[in-house]
Each structure stands twice: as structure tokens, then as C-alpha cells.
Amino acid sequence: MLETPNANLVEGMRWFLSACTIRLNHRQKLFGDVFSGRQKALIVEGSGNGYLKTACDHVHLNPARANLLGTEDLLLAYARSRSAWYLAEAEHRPGWIRVDRLLGEHGIGQDSAAGRQEFERQMEARRLDEQDEAALGPFQRGWCLGSEEFKQKLIELMAGKLGENQSGEPHCETAEHQANRIISDELSRLGWTEGDLVSRLENDSRKLAMAAQVRKETTLPIKPNAARLQMGNAKSLKPMLLHRLQAHENANDTAQCAHLQFQPPV
């Protein structure tokens, strides 16, 4: 788990992977890549509601889940386990490791010998939960671990700012959020309710106008666009959208030509 006050995780990971590769290759007299593929990043809500604890415990229990330990071995038997730092006294930890938040999430009030012993007991007990594949779902799939409110705030912040290399799921959810905002604004302007989208014809001109605006301003595919506006399937909506967008472009071209034609002479 890494917490940074600045939005510089990409730059930091680029430096970290590059530095590790250069130093390892130099030491071992090798060449080429050390790490294969892209790393997975999961945004975790840290507001004290259990999500931070879930993510940190998942990391600390990786050796057990990967079968790197025997059934009788303690988690500390894995030499590279970072849980060892949580069980060490404060003066023996690196300065950049913060343990108070995670201990607090476990209900441990003090960074004391007794508190650290309780943390180890809880972690050993959690090993049984890691055998459940369903517990791994949030880490194998998805891009965010947190409440629905936290997720919606992230989607609002990311709207229109996602790069091409961002994974597909944030793109889809951001597009859905933008589409819902557009449709909600248009329903309010027209004095409609969600029921009007159901009761009115699939080719209603005002529904088509909303579909065209969603298509123009978001990356939402035609199929969910049609489903959201109750306009049949993608096959029926696509030609209507193409016709409307083309007519709109032609109208703009005509208006621009008329404006140029009647410009007063200089």
C-alpha cells in the first residue's frame, strides 16, 4: 500500500521499475526487462470504514495465498513479508512506514508490544479467510475499493480526464456517469420524468436529440445509449443517429457558407 499526497504515482512507479531493472542487471551482469506487463493499481478508500484494512491485510497475506509458506509456518517465516515491520519496535522501522492507521483499523489503540502481538494474532487468524476465492474478487477485478459514494466522487473527478492507457472499466463507468448527467439535465429542461422515456415512441425527436448529445459528448457505446433512453436496440438507433448527426453537420456547413457569402467587402 502506497499513499502519496501528490498525483505522481505513475512517475514514481516508472522511476522505481527503471531503477530496479538497472541495478539488478548491473549487479547480475544481465540485460533486458525485469518486470513483465503493467502493474495493477487499485484506488482504496482510507476513511476508516474497513477498506484500507482489507487492502493492507490482502498484501500482508500474499505469501500464504501464493503457497510460499507451509501450513505450520507463521507469516513472519517469509523473509520478504512487510508485516514484519508492523511487528517491530518503532526505532527499528524505516521512517516512511506508518503503522498507526492500520493498527487502528484492527481496533488496536497503541503501537505497543501488546498491540503488535494482537496484530499478529489477527493476521494469523485471517489466513483462513484467504482460502475463499470470493474474498479475492475486489483485487482481481475492478479499479476501486471503497463505498459507492467514494466511487462516484472519483468518477466525477475523472470525467473527461482519462488517458488512452487507462483500463476500460473506469472509461465505461465515467461515460455512464456523464451520460446520466446529460439525460437528467435534459429531462429537467423538458419537464419529463424517467417514465416518459418508456411511454414515448422509440424514434421521438427529443429522445433522439438526447441520444445524439450523449453520443457526441461521451464515449458511451450505442447499445447502452439505446437501452438508457428506451430507443430499442443499437441496430435501430445507429442509422437514426448517423442521419441526425449528418444533418446537423450539413446545417452547420450551410450556415457557415451563408455567413461567408454575405460578408461586407473590406
Q: Where are the domains of the chain?
A: 1-39, 46-144, 169-261
E strand map for 119-173? 144-145
Confidence category of residue 33, pLDDT binned at 50, 70, 90:
confident
What digits encode the pLDDT tens for the residues 35-62? 776 666 778 887 777 888 888 888 888 8
Q: Specify the higher pLDDT residue, 245 or 20.
A: 20
What digits encode the pLDDT tens for the residues 110-167? 999 999 999 999 988 888 765 555 566 667 667 778 888 888 887 777 766 655 555 5
Q: Does the CA dihedral 133-154-220-199 come out positive or negative?
A: positive
The average pLDDT across 21-25 equals: 90
Q: What percentage of the chain reaches a pLDDT higher than 70?
A: 81
Q: Is 44 helix (H, G, I), strand (E, B) or coil?
A: strand
Measured in degrees and rounded to the nearest 5, phi and psi for residue 44 equal -120, 130
Q: Specify the higher pLDDT residue, 173 or 68.
A: 68
Amino acid in the structure at residue 136: L
d(CA 71, CA 125): 13
The average pLDDT across 227-243 equals: 88
Amino acid in the structure at residue 139: F
Confidence category of residue 260, pLDDT binned at 50, 70, 90:
very low
Contacts of 143 (CB under 8 A, 6+ apart): 41, 42, 43, 167, 169, 170
User: Is the predicted pLDDT of residue 252 greater than 70, yes or no?
Assistant: no
Which stretches of 32-112 are DSSP H helices? 51-60, 62-65, 83-87, 100-105
Terminal-residue alpha carbon distance, the chain: 67
What average pLDDT does the chain have?
81
Q: Give pLDDT, residue 199.
A: 93
Amino acid in the structure at residue 154: L
Per the listing, cell 476500460 goes with 168
Residue whose C-alpha is closest to residue 211's, from 174, 183, 250: 183
Q: Give pLDDT, residue 53.
A: 87
d(CA 179, CA 173): 10
The average pLDDT across 90-119 equals: 90
User: Is the predicted pLDDT of residue 87 greater than 60, yes or no?
Assistant: yes
**β partners of residue 44:** 145
- Strand 144-145, strand 43-44: pairing: parallel
Q: What percentage of the chain reaches a pLDDT higher than 90?
A: 19
Is 0.85 topped by the overall pTM?
no
Q: Specify the higher pLDDT residue, 2 or 38.
A: 2
Q: Is 42 helix (H, G, I), strand (E, B) or coil?
A: coil
